[in-house]
Amino acid sequence: MDTETRIKNLENTIDSLVGIISKMQELLSIHTKALSSINDAIGKILDINKPTEPEVGFAETLMLNKVMDLDPNCGCHKCNPRYFGMIVCDTCGNKRCPHATDHDNPCTNSNAPGQPGSRF
């Protein structure tokens, strides 16, 4: 094969590769737009499912805590009604202790289920 034929073949190959790269860029653009639309839809779904709570200022929160006998420094269920993690008694460390449910209950130093005053 002579030099001119080789050059012509290389030029054809380069043209083919440029066409392939151009198509890949188009597909990538379409894919990116589709992912963006999916992310937007997911964001809207998450916004719809967000719980809506009224705005409560600092003064209102302090008043509610006082009225409901909630101690902001306490870790019991009564003082942290919106906390969904595991709360344990600050004295014995058991989650089923009645003191973990309400700081006014005595600590039983027990993790037995069904104790009076315990939410478990």
Tokens of 57: 């200022």
Label residue 94 exposed, middle or buried (CB < 10 Å: 0-12, 13-18, 19+). Answer: buried
118 pLDDT above the threshold of 60: yes
Q: The pTM is what? A: 0.45
Distance CA(95)–CA(49), nearest Å, equals 30
Q: pLDDT tens digits, residue range 10-47?
A: 999 999 999 999 999 999 999 999 888 888 888 877 76
